[in-house]
């Protein structure tokens, strides 16, 4: 699997004032999990994507000089591991770690003071209720640290409270004179033009505001490792399903059998709370060997669950896996599902990833009670990672 190359040239400026804000070329290790995945980004070596003029303007120190930095960059990296998780909580980040004139840039926002930077954080807390997940922190230059993160937000002013997801890297420049952060530049994985002001970035925000209606039920837990323009990469926690043989990916044959299990057709007549989504999964290249599944509540243990009353219904524990998922809405006909599977598989292979054969369709809504244009559906394909070396992010 090819390693991501994220390079931007920097200007040489004298005298040295602040660290570089070029895009990072190396990766690091997750603070919460050893899992990492190597991604090949979309056309990042093209001339268009090397023209981060605004990032180069923020770069005021040549990375190769001096050879022996006096700043404890490793200590600052450790500090960020502790400080950044507080970005949106009541404690907040430590403003004393930043220059008063710190320059912040992302594709649609810029601020040139620490006060402006903190105001932006406060505004996001009010409008979006963000959940920030820090994956890793890595020194990428004598006066430069790069972080990788995921931010999941809900836009509270809209009645349906749409979920927005952004993943990417932040390149943080360090002032060699005082050891404080003097620049912070964000790069989103979902767009090509990360230069401020990016219309592509603004559109990426607006297109996530569409109406999706999902029931207030428990769903399998997962962490979004990366969101591109075409799919999300997720790491799922283990979960248990009750399953039986289905007919086709878009079909509902077998649903009554698995639903019957949670409604009491089991060895103890126990009624089990409903969850979402309903899965249909195919494991063969022709997508014809199909099973239909309902996820059981996370507090259940497979050893203590009652046995199904029907021989064709089985219980199975799904181990934690990494999958790429494509969100869409509408009526999931067989032709539509197969078209989505082909598109997802094609995009994964273009990005240098190695998907397994088969796929899984997730349906979150009751089709009899939900308008098709508000239905949320996922089409997912798993990755057959063989060793930790392949699991680089």
Please tell me the total count of domains within the chain. Answer: 2
- Pair (237, 202) in one structural domain: no
Between 320 and 4, the higher pLDDT residue? 320
Of the candidates 142, 177, 209, which is a domain's last residue? 209
Query: How confident is the model over 321-373, as pLDDT tens digits?
Result: 999 999 999 999 999 999 999 999 999 999 999 899 999 999 999 887 788 87
pTM: 0.85
Answer yes or no: are the C-beta atoms of 97 and 184 closer than 8 Å: no
- Pair (257, 280) in one structural domain: yes
pLDDT at 114: 98
pLDDT at 166: 98
The answer to whether residue 1 is domain-embedded is no
Q: What percent of the chain has pLDDT over 90?
A: 75
- Pair (361, 245) in one structural domain: yes
- Pair (180, 233) in one structural domain: no
Confidence of residue 22 (pLDDT cuts 50, 70, 90): low
Closest Cα partner for 144 from 60, 18, 59, 19?
19
- Pair (291, 205) in one structural domain: no
- Pair (204, 286) in one structural domain: no
- Pair (311, 275) in one structural domain: yes
Determine the 3-state secondary structure of 379 from DSSP: strand
pLDDT at 392: 52
The answer to whether residue 80 is domain-embedded is yes
- Asked if pLDDT for residue 52 goes beyond 50, the answer is no
302: domain CATH number? 3.20.80.10
The answer to whether residue 393 is domain-embedded is no
Which token pair is 164?
């927005």
Rounded to whole angstroms, the Cα distance separating 29 from 136 reads 5
- Pair (231, 355) in one structural domain: yes
Rounded to whole angstroms, the Cα distance separating 387 from 38 reads 12
- Pair (131, 184) in one structural domain: yes
Between 103 and 64, the higher pLDDT residue? 103
Rounded to whole angstroms, the Cα distance separating 142 from 376 reads 46
The answer to whether residue 254 is domain-embedded is yes
**Which residues form the domain of 147?**
73-209
pLDDT at 371: 86
Of the candidates 159, 185, 209, which is a domain's last residue? 209
The answer to whether residue 16 is domain-embedded is no
Closest Cα partner for 287 from 381, 357, 384?
357
pLDDT at 23: 59
- Pair (276, 158) in one structural domain: no
The answer to whether residue 334 is domain-embedded is yes
Query: How confident is the model over 156-199, as pLDDT tens digits?
Result: 999 999 999 999 999 999 999 999 999 999 999 999 999 999 99
The answer to whether residue 67 is domain-embedded is no
- Pair (265, 318) in one structural domain: yes
Of the candidates 185, 209, 233, which is a domain's last residue? 209
Which token pair is 313?
């219904």
The answer to whether residue 48 is domain-embedded is no
107: domain CATH number? 3.10.450.50
- Pair (333, 226) in one structural domain: yes
């Amino acid at each position: 699997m090819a390693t991501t190359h994220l390079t931007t040239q920097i200007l040489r400026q004298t005298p040295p004032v602040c660290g570089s804000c070029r895009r990072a070329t190396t990766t690091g290790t997750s603070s919460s999990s050893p899992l990492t995945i190597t991604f090949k980004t979309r056309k990042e070596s093209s001339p268009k994507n090397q023209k981060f003029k605004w990032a180069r303007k923020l770069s005021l120190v040549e990375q190769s000089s001096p050879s022996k930095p006096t700043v404890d960059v490793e200590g600052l990296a450790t500090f960020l591991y502790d400080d950044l998780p507080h970005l949106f909580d009541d404690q907040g980040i430590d403003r004393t770690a930043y220059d008063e004139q710190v320059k912040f840039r992302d594709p649609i926002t810029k601020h040139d003071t620490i006060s402006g930077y903190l105001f932006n954080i406060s505004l996001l807390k009010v409008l979006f209720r963000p959940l920030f997940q820090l994956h890793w922190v890595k020194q990428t230059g004598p006066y430069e640290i790069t972080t990788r993160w995921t931010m999941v937000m809900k836009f509270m002013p809209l009645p349906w409270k749409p979920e927005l997801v952004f993943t990417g890297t932040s390149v943080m420049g360090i002032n060699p004179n005082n050891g404080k952060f003097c620049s912070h530049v964000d790069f989103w994985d979902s767009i090509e033009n990360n230069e401020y002001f990016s219309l592509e970035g603004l559109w990426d925000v607006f297109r996530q505001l569409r109406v999706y209606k999902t029931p207030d039920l428990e769903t399998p837990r997962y962490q979004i490792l990366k969101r591109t323009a075409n799919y999300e990469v997720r790491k799922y926690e283990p979960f248990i399903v009750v399953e039986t043989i289905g007919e086709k990916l878009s079909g509902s044959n077998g649903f009554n059998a698995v639903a019957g299990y949670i409604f009491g057709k089991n060895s103890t007549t126990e009624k089990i709370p409903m969850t979402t989504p309903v899965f249909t999964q195919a494991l063969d290249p022709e997508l014809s060997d199909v099973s239909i599944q309902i996820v059981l509540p996370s507090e259940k243990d497979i050893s203590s669950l009652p046995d199904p009353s029907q021989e064709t219904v089985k219980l199975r524990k799904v181990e934690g896996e990494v999958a790429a998922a494509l969100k869409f809405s509408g009526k999931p006909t067989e032709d539509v599902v197969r078209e989505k599977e082909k598109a997802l598989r094609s995009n994964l292979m273009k990005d240098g990833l190695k998907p397994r054969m088969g796929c899984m369709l997730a349906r979150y809504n009751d089709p009899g009670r939900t308008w098709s244009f508000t239905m949320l559906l996922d089409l997912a394909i798993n990755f057959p990672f063989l060793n930790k070396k392949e699991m680089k992010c």
